[in-house]
Amino acid sequence: MSSQKKRFNRIKIALIERDKTNLWLAEKMGVTPAAVSRWCTNDAQPNLETLFKIAKVLGVEVTELLNTKA
């Protein structure tokens, strides 16, 4: 497993910054906690439509959830 994959992504960071859990986001999004966990550990990525919904639920701009560093 690469060191990049081990890092938390921006969704997880946004949850931590707002003192919210994966379970909270799963309930708000109508998805399984496992799906949110996979997003937060970079095992899977949400599609663009879902990413916009996540941003809305978290009250952030979608660009905040995207890693723009190469």
pLDDT tier at 1 (50, 70, 90 boundaries)? Answer: very low
Tell me the pLDDT tens digit for each residue of 3-34. Answer: 444 456 899 999 999 999 999 999 999 999 99
pTM: 0.83
| Residue 43 to residue 36: CA distance in whole angstroms | 10
| Residue 43 to residue 29: CA distance in whole angstroms | 18
| Residue 69 to residue 29: CA distance in whole angstroms | 27
Domains detected in the chain? 3-56 (1.10.260.40)
Query: Under a CB-based contact definition with an 8 Å cutoff, are residues 62 and 55 in contact?
Result: yes
